[in-house]
Amino acid sequence: MLIVVDGAVDLPEDLETSGRARVVPGGLFDGAGPFDGDRGRLWESLRQGAFPSSRPPTVNALLEAYRHDGLVLGLHVSAELSATVSRAREAAVRAGPGVVVVDTRSLSVGAGLVAAAVDRAARDPGSSESVVERARSLPERVHTFVLVQDAAALRRSGRAGLLPSGGPVRDRPVVLAVRGRAVVLDQPRDRHRAVRRLVEHVRNHAEAEGSRWALGHGDAGDLDLLAGQLSASFGRPPDFVSLIDPTVGVHVGAEAIVVGVLAEPAEG
C-alpha cells in the first residue's frame, strides 16, 4: 500500500522517509514567478510582510504520484480549504480503481496524524477493519487548532473568508478550529492570551481515550513553552513536531501554531 499526500499535509519524519508515503508539493509563487527560496527565507519574507501565493498540486502531478502496483490512498487537505481534493479525484479516475481519495477534513499535522494512523493500520495484521475503512473513518476523529499570529496574514494571502463578518481587529492573533472548514474560536489581544486560549481549547480533547497529538509551527519562538504545556495536559510528548509546509505557511504566517488531536478507534 502507498499513502500519497499533498504538501499541505505535514507527516512525521519516519513516515515521510519510509518509502510508504509520497508527498506531492503545491506551487509557491511571488511577484516575479516561482518562489525559489528555502524555508528559512520564506519565514523571513513573511515577517517582512511579503506574502507569496500558493497553488494546489496539478492533476498530472497527482496522477504521477498515484502510479503504484498496489492500493493507493490519497489523503489530502480539506476540500473546504483547497482545490486539491477535486484535482485528486480527477487524477484517481484517470489512474484506475486502485486509488482511493480521502478528504482528511484537516491540514498540516492534523492531516498528518490521519496519515500516520492509516500507516499503522496497514502494518497491523490484527486489525479487524480494512485500511480503506479506517482511512474513511478517521477524519471525523481529528480536531485541528490553528493560532495565526496576525489576522492580517489571512487577508493578505486571500483567506479573508475565514474571518468573521466585518473582519477582526488588525494585528491581533486569531485562534481557529478546522473540521472541514475553518471556524474562528477567539481573537485575543496578544500572543500570550492567544497561546493560553489555544491550550484551553486543545485540553478539551486531551483526555479522550486513545488520543494522539502532534504539533506544527511556523518558525515559532515559543514552541518549547507551548509543547511543555500541552505535554502536561496529554501526559506525554507529541507524536511528532513539524515545521509547517510553505503552502500552509503563506496563509497562516510566521509564528503560527497548529495542533492536531486524533482520537483513534480502540483497536488502533
The 10s digit of each residue's pLDDT in 74-97 is: 999 999 999 999 999 999 999 999
Please choose, from the candidates 254, 257, 217, the residue with its C-alpha nearest in 3D space to the C-alpha of residue 41.
254
* 186-215: average pLDDT: 89
Contact criterion met (CB below 8 Å) for 249 and 218? yes
Higher pLDDT, 151 or 197: 197
Q: Which residues contact 251 (CB under 8 A, 6 or more apart)?
A: 54, 153, 154, 157, 158, 159
Compute the chain's Rg from CA coordinates: 18
Return the pLDDT at 209.
Answer: 61
Dist CA 160 CA 234 (whole Å)? 33
Sort strands 241-243 and 211-217 into parallel, antiparallel or unpaired. parallel
Helix (H) / strand (E) element for 76: namely strand 72-76
Q: Is the pLDDT of residue 218 over 60?
A: yes
For the whole prediction, is pTM greater than 0.85? Answer: yes
Dist CA 214 CA 230 (whole Å)? 10
What is the spatial order of strands in the sheet that 257-263 belongs to?
Answer: 181-186, 174-179, 142-148, 257-263, 211-217, 241-243
Contact criterion met (CB below 8 Å) for 79 and 86? yes
Helix (H) / strand (E) element for 225: namely helix 223-234
* 95-109: average pLDDT: 96
Dist CA 179 CA 111 (whole Å)? 11
Q: Is the pLDDT of residue 255 over 70?
A: yes
* 150-160: average pLDDT: 74
CA torsion through residues 174, 178, 183, 185, sign? negative
What cell was used for 166?
A: 466585518
Higher pLDDT, 69 or 158: 69
What cell was used for 122?
A: 496497514
Query: pLDDT band at residue 125, thresholds of 50, 70 and 90?
Result: confident
Residue 60: burial class (beta carbons within 10 Å; 0-12, 13-18, 19+): exposed
Contact criterion met (CB below 8 Å) for 110 and 144? yes
Structural domains of the chain in order of their starting residue, each with its CATH number: 2-140 (3.40.50.10170), 141-263 (3.30.1180.10)
158 C-beta neighbours (distance < 10 Å), count: 12
Query: pLDDT band at residue 268, thresholds of 50, 70 and 90?
Result: very low
- Strand, coil or helix: what is 202? helix
- Strand, coil or helix: what is 205? coil
Dist CA 109 CA 258 (whole Å)? 7
Dist CA 230 CA 241 (whole Å)? 12
The 10s digit of each residue's pLDDT in 15-53 is: 999 999 999 999 888 766 777 656 677 888 888 877 788
Number of residues written out for the chain? 268
Lowest mean pLDDT among 112-116, 154-158, 227-231, 234-238: 154-158
